[in-house]
Amino acid sequence: MSDPDRLSTHFCRSEFSCKCGCGCDTVDIGLLAVLETIRTHFGKPVVINSGMRCAAHNAEIRGKSHSKHLEGRAADIFVPEVPANEIQDFIESRFPDTLGMGRYALFTHIDTRTGPMARW
Structural domain includes residue 89: yes
- In the DSSP assignment, the letter for residue 45 is P
Structural domain includes residue 84: yes
Structural domain includes residue 8: no
**The CATH number of the domain where 33 resides is what?**
3.30.1380.10
- The boundaries of the domain holding residue 73 are 13-119
Structural domain includes residue 97: yes
Structural domain includes residue 2: no
Instruction: State the total domains in the chain.
Output: 1
Is the whole model's pTM more than 0.75, yes or no? yes
Structural domain includes residue 53: yes
- In the DSSP assignment, the letter for residue 82 is B
- What pLDDT was estimated at residue 20? 96
Structural domain includes residue 68: yes
**Confidence band, pLDDT 50/70/90 cuts, at residue 2:** low
At residue 42, what are phi and psi to the nearest 5 degrees?
-90, -15
Please report the sign of the dihedral spanned by the C-alpha atoms of residue 19, residue 60, residue 80, residue 91.
positive
Among residues of the chain, what percentage have pLDDT more than 90? 88
